[in-house]
Amino acid sequence: MLDLFSIFSKGGIVLWCFQSTSDIFSPSVNALIRNVILQERSGNNTFNHNALSLQYKLDNEFELVFVVAYQRILQLSYVDKFLNDIHLEFRDKYKNELQGGKHNMDFDFKTTFDKVLKQCESWAKSQAKIPKQMRTFEDSQKSKKTVASMIERKGEEKSKKSVKIVENKSIPNGKEEESPDGEDDVIAANRAKLAQKLAAKSKKDTKKSPKSPKATQERVKKPRVWELGGGSRDLPSLDFSSDKDSAPSNVGLPTDTQLLGQMTGAIRDLEVESDSSSDEEIEQTHSSPKKSTGMFSIFKGLVGSKALSEETMRPVLDKMRDHLIGKNVAADIANKLCDSVATKLDGKVLGTFDSVARTVKATLTEALVQILSPKRRVDILRDCLHAKQQGRPYVMAFCGVNGVGKSTNLAKICFWLIENNLSVLIAACDTFRAGAVEQLRTHVRRLDALHAGAVHLYEKGYGKDAAGIAMEAIKYAADSKIDVVLIDTAGRMQDNEPLMRALAKLIKVNEPDLVLFVGEALVGNEAVDQLVKFNQALADHSSSSNPHVIDGIVLTKFDTIDDKVGAAISMTYITGQPIVFVGTGQTYTDLKALNANAVVHALMK
Ligand code: GDP
């Protein structure tokens, strides 16, 4: 018996839902979304959470998720068939509406659901009566392996063995089903991989072989100085999130004064790792196809003396689409990018690989510039001066969920402003999280050491009304002729209605010039979901006919995502709001502006 069946969009809108009990399933479904769907894990479509088994099917065309939940102790043999059948029925019935993106309509699906479920249940009963037969070779897993996948390579031996241990542990009775622990193992393995990746990034300058026992010994004994430096640089880290009013120790590190003067003028663009690297890759792909790993290699097949047609390009464009989706680019944006490349190449004769690759690169850059060009331009320095001429402070409010880097990036933005001769008042309106005010106090002290008297803190401790404190701070800044007010707000989950209502009130009452949403690039498309919901909640709860929603985005921890830049594109694409700042590390200078070239470069890797 099924406990729950739900159809929802990847953006989180429930299209249709059936529940046979009054239990609350949202924690299990949320866990599935967080641990499987958002991480875009492929493979097994079963996920276990507490006593429940959840099985899901994705519809990538319409970005839908079909989920079934049932008690884990039940052995329901028809769930795979049911998911396939119900998916087809739903698509067939509502194809036109789905194409039109109508997710909020009333889907009258109960009769079809009952019919399909009944059919599948009787199918399962009839299957149970058939005596079990041995699997043929064609049915077995071995027949599905390609020859290439069976070749054992030297370096892979070890990892295969460790996988085996996991398998042995998780299948004590030889069954082919995944055990509940399997999920945790995979998550743990993924986390370990991420940690390894980050550590490797920080240590990339170290040339010692990790295999050498001497190197390992040294690593264990030596204090990990690089951690204090925020990545591989020797600058003091800004992580004061656990700071309880104590200045961070920077013994042995260069002083902050090295940072002085580095942030004057407009925010610098994100650096493309090496300007010539894409060209180098084109060369490499051209001269030695085996070495190429980036997107260019996909286009090798298009070199020829015939004019390119839709048909010849189709397989290549499909691969390009998969490549982009692999970088977290949402399906509709990937389609758009592929379409623009197809239009540019259609009918052309591209005799050399160089010409194909350069055309693709130029087209992608052009398309991305279009997507990343926001509805409106945000020029904070100019607007601050304009407000100053009007005799009032320029006010910016920062919002987002907890831990995304609001306070840290607020401090970086503050540093940029004071580097540009503006005075700043930070309003400590996170009156909720213990340590939030102290964290800001530490930042103010350090910033004051760099530009004496340029930064002030307005704080009223904890538990008070944040909207009221912001209002007092703005008044204080106006009276004291301070140029800019930066309002730090408490982190809140996008679905927490009372807290979102409070944020809407803070914004409505204080009318900041700029409301910035802070999201971390690290969580990929989850950040897009947060942004969309913050925007929606601000509109819903503002009780104004012209609500003030999000004006711009601060995308933090960009330094940790490698080349998975898709979420950044989706954020601007969906809301039309600009990514005003990109946080790229933990020092005051790690603040950049997003530019299409850097994004194209990452996408092409
Ligand atoms: P808040 O709860 O949103 O105010 O988050 P915090 O400002 O306390 O930051 C949470 C953590 O993220 C801290 O450890 C910061 O040092 C770290 N952090 C913030 N921005 C960045 C960034 O751009 N890159 C990296 N690598 N870490 C960051």
Q: pLDDT tens across 478-535, in order?
A: 999 999 999 999 999 888 888 999 999 999 999 999 999 999 987 877 888 899 899 9
Whether residue 231 has its Cβ less than 6 Å from ligand 1 = no
Whether residue 408 has its Cβ less than 6 Å from ligand 1 = yes
Residue 475 has pLDDT above 90, yes or no: yes
Tens of pLDDT, residue by residue over 70-99, are 987 777 889 989 999 999 999 989 988 888
The band of 427, judged by pLDDT with boundaries at 50, 70 and 90, is very high
Look at 382 and 210; give whichever has higher pLDDT: 382
Whether residue 229 has its Cβ less than 6 Å from ligand 1 = no
For the domain made up of 380-594, the CATH class stated in words is: alpha beta
Residue 150 has pLDDT above 50, yes or no: no
Smallest Cα–Cα separation from 83: which of 21, 25, 17, 7? 7
Question: What average pLDDT does the segment 306-311 reach?
Answer: 84
β-pairing, 64-71 vs 52-59, is: antiparallel
Whether residue 409 has its Cβ less than 6 Å from ligand 1 = yes
CA 161 – CA 178 distance, rounded (Å): 18
* pLDDT attached to residue 196: 62
Look at 406 and 201; give whichever has higher pLDDT: 406
Nearest atom in ligand 1 to 237's CA? 16
The band of 177, judged by pLDDT with boundaries at 50, 70 and 90, is very low
- Measured in angstroms, how far is the CA atom of residue 239 from the centroid of ligand 1? 7
Residue 462: phi, psi to the nearest 5?
-110, 165
Number of Cβ within a 10 Å radius of residue 364: 23
Question: What average pLDDT does the segment 419-425 reach?
Answer: 97
- CATH 1.20.120 residue ranges of the chain are 278-286+294-372
Whether residue 541 has its Cβ less than 6 Å from ligand 1 = no
CATH 1.20.80 is the classification of domain 278-286+294-372:
no
380: which 2 tokens?
Answer: 């904070």
Residue 287 has pLDDT above 60, yes or no: no
For domain 4-127, give the fold: Beta-Lactamase (3.30.450)
- CATH 3.30.450.60 residue ranges of the chain are 4-127
**3-state DSSP assignment of residue 255:** coil
* pLDDT attached to residue 40: 60
CA 287 → CA 284, 292, 300, 304, distances in Å? 5, 9, 11, 16
200: which 2 tokens?
Answer: 């490797």
Question: What average pLDDT does the segment 275-284 reach?
Answer: 48
Residue 289 has pLDDT above 80, yes or no: no
Whether residue 560 has its Cβ less than 6 Å from ligand 1 = yes
Top mutation candidate among 198, 410, 586 for ligand 1, by most atoms within 8 Å of CB: 586
* pLDDT attached to residue 429: 96
Number of Cβ within a 10 Å radius of residue 43: 8
Number of Cβ within a 10 Å radius of residue 369: 14
* pLDDT attached to residue 236: 53
Whether residue 583 has its Cβ less than 6 Å from ligand 1 = yes
Whether residue 570 has its Cβ less than 6 Å from ligand 1 = no
Question: What average pLDDT does the segment 400-420 reach?
Answer: 95
Tens of pLDDT, residue by residue over 31-61, are 888 777 776 665 568 888 878 889 998 887 7
Q: Specify the range with the lowest mean pLDDT, choosing from 176-180, 313-317, 358-362, 444-448.
A: 176-180
In this structure, the residue with its CA closest to atom 11 of ligand 1 is: 405
Amino acid at 276: S
In this structure, the residue with its CA closest to atom 15 of ligand 1 is: 239
The band of 149, judged by pLDDT with boundaries at 50, 70 and 90, is very low
* pLDDT attached to residue 299: 82
Whether residue 582 has its Cβ less than 6 Å from ligand 1 = no
* pLDDT attached to residue 511: 95
- Measured in angstroms, how far is the CA atom of residue 585 from the centroid of ligand 1? 8
Whether residue 584 has its Cβ less than 6 Å from ligand 1 = yes
- CATH 3.40.50.300 residue ranges of the chain are 380-594
Whether residue 238 has its Cβ less than 6 Å from ligand 1 = yes
In this structure, the residue with its CA closest to atom 19 of ligand 1 is: 405
